[in-house]
Structures are given as structure tokens and as C-alpha cells.
């Protein structure tokens, strides 16, 4: 063998050494259904419309979230509160229609920052897959957190890590 052929064999052995080194390293992939990867603390997932402790909706239909949305994914219609609806809505105005088009949403969090009443926040839950286009347009009923008066366990579960972060725990 001349010296050129020897250099070629040396390079092959270096490549094999790299391959063997990676063969014994910890794998980056996970077995998804059995194992789940933890989300980052700053992960922005599914939108949630919040309620207060008495079960009333916090949204006052001011429209700041819709204006702040760069993708124009939020649409809403305001309505006036009627007599006897004081237990449903905090303010005199409420969102009669509230929709988020998740196909347009870029999960920037501007809607959460713009809301003066903390009525909307992005949870730690990712958006589920769907086969229909209309399944990605979430209506107010889909986004509302469970009522703390009628379903306290569901309310605490839906609050999740957001309430702990605001309390500073």
C-alpha cells in the first residue's frame, strides 16, 4: 500500500469511530404514547377564556385581544348584559360571540398581554389535531374554563400551572 491508500483507511476508521460513539449515546427520541416530553415554562398552547372565583366570565368584549392579534385570528361580538344575568357576566358588556381561528393563530401571546381583565391566557396544553377545517375554529363554549362553583376540580385542573406562576410558587 502506498501512503495515499493508508490515509484513506485512516479516514474510514475515523468515520467508524464516530458512528460507534453515536451508537452508544443516549437517544434524542422518545417513545411518544408511553413517554411525554415536558413542555418549557414559556410554552404557549391552547387558548383559555378565564372566569372569576364566582364563575362569572371575565371577558368584557373590549376587543383589545382582537386588535393586538397580528394574524387577525380572533373575532368577537359584544352584547349588553340583561336583567338576571349578573351571575353570568362581571361587567355590563360581555362577549356574545368569541371565536379563535387556530389555523391563523401564531401563538404569539399578544392577546394574553393585551387583555386588561386577564380573561384570556395560553395554557400548557397543545392544540389537538383535527381533520375538518371548521374543527379548528374554537367558539366561546370550547374556550371557556369550567365553572368553579359547579365544577371546582375541573376549574383547578384547567388553571394548571398558570395560577401557580402568578402566585409566585
Q: Helix, strand or coil for residue 80?
A: strand
**What pTM, to 2 d.p., does this model score?**
0.72
- Decide: 120 and 112 in contact? Cβ < 8 Å: yes
Lookup: cell for 162: 398558570
Lookup: cell for 164: 401557580
pLDDT tens-place values along the chain, 169 residues long = 677 666 788 888 889 999 999 988 888 888 887 888 888 888 888 899 998 888 889 999 999 999 999 999 999 999 998 888 887 888 889 999 999 999 999 999 999 999 999 999 898 888 788 899 999 999 999 999 988 888 888 888 877 655 445 544 4
- Decide: 118 and 50 in contact? Cβ < 8 Å: yes
**Domains of the chain (ranges, CATH numbers):** 47-167 (3.30.70.3270)
Amino acid at each position: 500500500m502506498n501512503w495515499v491508500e493508508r490515509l484513506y483507511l485512516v479516514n474510514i476508521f475515523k468515520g467508524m469511530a464516530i458512528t460507534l460513539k453515536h451508537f452508544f449515546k443516549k437517544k434524542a427520541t422518545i417513545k411518544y404514547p408511553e413517554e411525554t416530553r415536558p413542555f418549557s415554562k414559556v410554552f404557549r398552547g391552547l387558548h383559555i377564556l378565564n372566569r372569576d372565583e364566582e364563575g362569572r366570565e371575565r371577558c368584557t368584549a373590549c376587543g383589545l385581544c382582537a386588535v393586538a392579534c397580528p394574524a387577525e385570528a380572533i373575532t368577537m361580538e359584544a352584547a349588553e348584559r340583561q336583567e338576571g344575568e349578573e351571575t353570568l357576566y362581571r361587567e355590563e358588556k360581555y362577549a356574545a360571540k368569541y371565536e379563535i381561528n387556530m389555523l391563523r393563530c401564531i401563538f404569539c401571546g399578544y392577546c394574553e398581554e393585551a387583555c386588561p381583565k386577564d380573561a384570556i391566557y395560553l395554557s400548557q396544553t397543545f392544540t389537538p389535531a383535527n381533520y375538518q377545517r371548521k374543527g379548528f375554529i374554537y367558539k366561546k363554549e370550547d374556550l371557556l374554563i369550567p365553572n368553579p362553583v359547579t365544577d371546582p376540580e375541573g376549574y383547578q385542573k384547567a388553571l394548571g400551572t398558570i395560577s401557580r406562576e402568578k402566585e409566585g410558587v
